[in-house]
Amino acid sequence: MSVQKKNQVPEFIPPEEGNKYSRVTPYIRKMAELSAQNNGIRPEMYAEYKVNRGLRDLQGKGVVTGLTEISSIKAKEVAPDGSEIPCRGELRYRGIDVRELVQGFLKDRRLGFEETVYLLLFSELPDTAQLSRFCETLSGYRSLPTSFVRDMILKAPGKDMMNVLSRSVLALYAYDDNPDDISVPNVLRQCLQLIALFPMLSVYGYQSFQHYHKGKSLFIHLPKPGMSTAECLLQILRENGEYSALEAKILDLALVLHAEHGGGNNSTFTVHVVTSSGTDTYSAIAAALGSLKGPRHGGANIKVVQMFDDMMQNIDVEDDGQVRDYLGRLLDGKAFDGKGLIYGMGHAVYSLSDPRADILMNCARDLSVEKGYEKEYALYERVARLAPEIIAEKRRIYKGVSPNVDFYSGLVYRMLELPCELFTPIFAVARIAGWSAHRIEELQNAGKIIRPAYVGVKKTAEYVPLSERRHESKKHG
């Protein structure tokens, strides 16, 4: 008989599980089946009870849940007869068209992510002196607490970089002298620190994974002072710390395009919901990271790359007929992962075009020439041309379907020789800017806690005493 040590918490382990913590036992499977059998909510009930599932109405429009000045999306115009017609997609940061923003810093031959962060946070474009001071501030914050990398990242290497990033963010709470102070100045300080540290937390987590799970050499580079976010990420990721000006330019542009999107996306709404409870910054951002990790949100570009890899391995990608046939089989659930999706095509809001995809498309074309990916880029062009036709035929969607930002971002990251494990964390490196702006906006306009209503549809039932439930237990052993 084992003797429990003093103050040791007893551990309950069902006999059938033994010490296999992650095992799904036959008992658990049987109980999961019972749960599914007793789930009486049917898809048609949402319309019956007039519930907008997923906060989308029957026409696919998002249900309005708040006001924001941070960004806006336009995908439709009102016709003379009052009807809405699809138009060229438009994304504005603080009222400024993202296309104009990008053209502005590219024309000046400079990187633009830090300027974009400033705009999102403070609702105005900085002048030269303001931008310089802001960049110095971010650079000055790129220093993790003493022993943080050793104790929080290297000693607990994870296989999923988003979970490692989320855990690191929560761990920073313990190093903050004022973690629960939700005054705007303190939250702004916390947000700027997280914006500065996200490249390091992401890359160091990846280096730890490579070393402890893949047997690769371990190297941890300290960021050089004065670098932009894109430059910092490339410098600490690569063993030799080298990168080209074009690589930094393209990654910086990708960060700008992923920095914010309308406020209604899943992870940003999560920031608003969690912030409205009055919780701390680290908890709010960790919650957003959990949302972004999902393949329906930030993980979509990985699926795009995997889909194209499968295509190149199984068909002649230079033959329109074979590509068309493959795309048809994708929609029928007979190719790739069987989900019936052409990843990277279509968007919940945009129809004719996603402005972010339009910009990235041109960048991907330029980068493909320098990196020798012309064949791969040609396939992306071919799919972008053929997929809308096939989707219209098979799904009877005639409002217009076009590539979204995930369609090209995965290709761009691959050409930049970024590991797929970092695709979603890099999205987070960008989107932390938008999350920060929305957290501050929610605090500045503090109102009620965001608490949506659900309709209870289970029929009333009587309590049955335990002694009379023996016949019920037979259902699940």
Active site residue 406: yes
In order, the DSSP letters of 401-448 are --B-HHHHHHHHHHHTT--GGGHHHHHHHHHHHHHHHHHHHHHHT--S
Q: Minimal CA–CA distance to 359: which of 412, 400, 303?
A: 412
Active site residue 57: no
Helix axes 184-214 and 423-444, enclosed angle (nearest 10): 160
Q: Minimal CA–CA distance to 230: which of 205, 206, 209, 259?
A: 259
Contact 206, 296 (CB under 8 A): no
Per residue, the 3-state secondary structure of 199-244, as one string, reads: HHHHHHHHHHHHHHHHCCCCCCCCCCCCCCHHHHHHHHHCCCCCCC
Catalytically annotated residue among 406, 438, 471, 476: 406
Q: Minimal CA–CA distance to 65: which of 350, 431, 452?
A: 452
Can you say whether the dihedral through the CA atoms of 233, 239, 241, 244 is positive or negative?
negative
Catalytically annotated residue among 261, 272, 347, 438: 347
CA angle, corner 255, sides to 191 and 169, nearest 5?
35
- Find all residues with CB under 8 Å of 472, minimum gap 6, and list them: 464
Q: Which amino acid is at 305?
A: V
Give me the active site residues, please.
347, 406
